[in-house]
Chain A
Amino acid sequence: MVHKLWIGRDGSGRIVRTDQDPQWVTPADHERWVAAGSPPLTGGGVDEQEAPGRLSFAFGSRVLKYDELRALPTDPAVLAPMVEAAAIGNSWSAAWQQLDLIAELLRGAPLAPAQSAALYKVASALPGIELVGPTRDSMGRPGVGVAVTSNGFREELVLDSGSGQLLGEFQTNLVARADLPAGTVIESVSYVSTGVVDSTTQQP
């Protein structure tokens, strides 16, 4: 899947999603698909223009407008309780949800450098944060991984060692389950490009 997003200060923009050929998690999944008559698996994607006010920035259980986003504090001590309060509450650990929130902001929002830095500092204080070590994102770019584990799954961020930028994320199943082998990557994302442009047809 390739996902492209343009979002303006007024919440207008454009979303383009291009579906790609699916990959099978296990051979049994492929066999089930064949047994079902090999139905089409991709919808082809979307390309939608969004009117002002339709788009916003995800902040856990909340959404932020541009001005609200840029008003987020740069002091980790002030930002941390906001992250904790906004993180979605469910059967995942609080640290998992907070790391997910932080990654979503870092990858998808035009933050001030000091805000991005504060988010990393908040992440560094999450309970159970651990070093994965040298690794690569799903596009093969080298980086270093940090992660939290919850319910036998690992949420891992891959950081560029040189720039500090977030390269990508993995969610991996760590334990053997009846229908999901240990080591299965259930989600992977690489952040290819971000930047400021002048129209919804332009790319950096």
Chain B
Amino acid sequence: MSWVPSERQQERDAYRRSRAQRSTAVAFASTIALVAVAVLALVSSPGWPRVKASFFDWQVAQEAFPAILQGLWLNIRVMAVSAVLIVIVALALALARTLRGPVFFPVRALATGYVDVFRGLPLILVLLLVGFGLPGLRLQGIPTSAVALGTLALVLTYSAYVAEVFRAGIESVHPSQVAAARSLGLTRAQAMRHVVLPQAVRRVIPPLLNDLVALSKDSGLISILGAIDAVRAAQIETARYANFTPYVVAGVLFVALTIPLTRFTDVLARRSGWVGAQSALAGGGALR
């Protein structure tokens, strides 16, 4: 095409460019100023030299790092295994609550009760009850390792949350989709499996990833049962060096673990068209 922007348009574009440059400069300056103020406030505080010595000791950080990283590997494994189990259990719970018919009444009631109980119980209580209560039963086949029991507790609590996410997704699919499927002769179960669930799961992937981020941090709680994960390893290193730096190292590692997950969630959300009202305004492209 031989379109050449009109003079008026060129003038508009030039104005927008100058505004954009100015915005970048302002953002840069305000960021520098904020960081400078924060650093100054921290460094000039009377206790800073002592805090620096006991929380930010580079020597200690380096020496404690391998042990903490090894602990984090346990967190990652626990997280991966429990994430898979959580999705399976949660999906089963969500589907159980959609079942119709008198035969399924106990299943429905059980699923509802399960979600009510485990969504209400603090995770730390579930961990303690499962971790110290279950082995006390001395039943055959019940694991006694802190890792397995901790994973079980995580699955119990998180599957109750994730079941509700799935149920919200299922209920968000418009009834007209079910009407279309049933009008073709599909049974209730076929309509659920082939029409409702695929759409529901797609819609809830961003909130599911959000729960996965929360899970990655809560996997650190299994340390209270004695499993040597990143948190526990940091605790041991802290005791060894009489210095709190290992906690900071563990914190940095957890953040480093969750940031990619969070960004991935954002990307996925944006790809499915969830830009949200705020970003439309902040971007300034769509609306002045």
Partners in one complex: no
| B residues neighboring A (CB under 8 Å) | none
| A residues neighboring B (CB under 8 Å) | none
